[in-house]
Amino acid sequence: MDAKIRSSFEKLKSYCEAESFKGYDPYDGLNSRFFQSLPIIKNNRIAKLIWIQAFKRLPFNLRRIFAVKKDYNPKAMGLFLSGYCALYQKEPLPEYLEKIRFFIDKIEKLTTDGWSGKCWGYNFDWQARAFFQPKFTPTVVATTFVAHSLLDAYEILKEEKLLSAARSACDFILKDLNRTYDDKGNFAFSYSPLDTSVVFNASLLGSRLLARVYSYSQEKELLEEAKKSVDFCCKFQKNNGEWPYGTYSFHQWVDNFHTGYNLECISDYMSYSKDYSYKKNLELGFEYYINTFFTEEGIPKYYNNSVYPIDIHTTSQLIITLIKLEKLSDNKDLMERVLNWTIENMQSPKGFFYFQLKKYISSKIPYMRWAQAWMFYAFAYFLSKADGENGIINVIDKKTLNHYIN
């Protein structure tokens, strides 16, 4: 199986490098020059929502027809940077170091200015049901993944500017994001400065970054605020271990990879903070996750109550979650079944991974952020832990492991 994983990764790596890591995104429909030329419709909320969902849901790619260009996505740059850092930690090749420098440079150029600290958003206007985000509006999700990748690079290069950038991102989280409080003074961070939504994985991602930076700076405020967010989010975990996506009435679904995000963030928070008071939440959530979202055949389910759509992000997150929670040895057979199924059913002969397989008509568009960056990150993370000849994951102490990729 390890040979199959390595072969799959090399095909993916070759594809991404040939594309110079630029690509399309499921949500980039509003970058269409045609749509932006429509004087009234381009500012209509319903029209924007329909347009962006059409680009995401249709099985064929409309982007060339309606003039949407391939571009660099800041979050994808962060995922690729973390991936190459993991590869370099395993084998310090000059080509990996060159790529690390490349992504640091791209990330610096893609920084969104005008906020309290370093921050990043997506390279497209984004109309969701809960809010509208103009292009490059900073979000806690994009910002934290980029900041973690800079810390991964800091572990290798020891350049203070990288640590400083990650610390600056904490100022964005603490000062620019809105907060929703409970009656005990705990709170959830908003998705961006422009909304007040409560999305549990987003708030926990903010907590994780605060805790990681705390592990370097020992600033008590970072840890105190991180804990309040973790406390808030854990209170919404149900008795069976599940979390809804958020608190809005239309955010009540329970899905695979966002559950994985929650578990990963809580695990990392405990590792960085040495606060293990959420161990039961983690154990309960993991049992729900591992027993709910994967079939015996190795098919990763999207929702807790539905297999379809089968999304590539579910496979990548399984790899990351198992390693982060030190659960791989107990679930290695499951991971191999899921990876084997995914490689056989969701990887193109050209090397890229498909977006989603659906019951009747699938979407095989090669999205760079959603599919390729995530699978690259997950594969690199896995291979960086492989123990040479037998491929057994070498689980080292959690703090060191977390410094490799987060």
Do both 340 and 301 map to the same domain? yes
Do both 16 and 94 map to the same domain? yes
Do both 372 and 263 map to the same domain? yes
- Name 125's Cβ contacts closer than 8 Å, sequence gap at least 6: 30, 31, 48, 132, 133, 134, 135
In the listed set 70, 92, 124, which residue is the last one of a domain according to the structure? Answer: 70
Do both 302 and 330 map to the same domain? yes
pLDDT beyond 60 at 146 = yes
pLDDT beyond 60 at 76 = yes
Structural domain span for residue 59: 29-70
Q: How confident is the model at residue 395 (pLDDT cuts 50, 70, 90)?
A: very low
Do both 132 and 63 map to the same domain? no
Do both 333 and 310 map to the same domain? yes
* Tens-place pLDDT, residues 184-210: 999 999 999 999 999 999 999 999 999
Do both 83 and 152 map to the same domain? yes
Helix, strand, coil percentages, rounded to 5, for the chain: 55, 5, 35
Burial of 396 (0-12, 13-18, 19+ CB in 10 A): exposed
Residue 313 one-letter amino acid: H
Do both 15 and 157 map to the same domain? yes
Nearest C-alpha neighbor of 294 from the set 285, 303, 281, 283: 303
Encoding tokens for residue 399?
């703090």
Do both 41 and 122 map to the same domain? no
Do both 286 and 375 map to the same domain? yes
In the listed set 46, 70, 94, which residue is the last one of a domain according to the structure? Answer: 70
SS (H, E, C) 109-165: HCCCCCCCCCCCECCCCEECCCCEECCCCECHHHHHHHHHHHHHHHHHHCCHHHHHH
CATH assignment at residue 293: 1.50.10.10
If one counts the domains in the chain, the total is 2
Rounded Cα distance, 292 and 295, in Å: 8
Do both 123 and 243 map to the same domain? yes
Is 172:117 a contact under the CB 8 Å cutoff?
yes
Do both 174 and 53 map to the same domain? no
* Tens-place pLDDT, residues 210-266: 999 999 999 999 999 999 999 999 999 999 999 999 999 999 999 999 999 999 999
Residue 376 one-letter amino acid: F
Beta strands 187-189 and 179-181 are antiparallel
The pTM score is 0.93
In the listed set 42, 70, 98, which residue is the last one of a domain according to the structure? Answer: 70
The predicted pLDDT at position 130 comes to 74
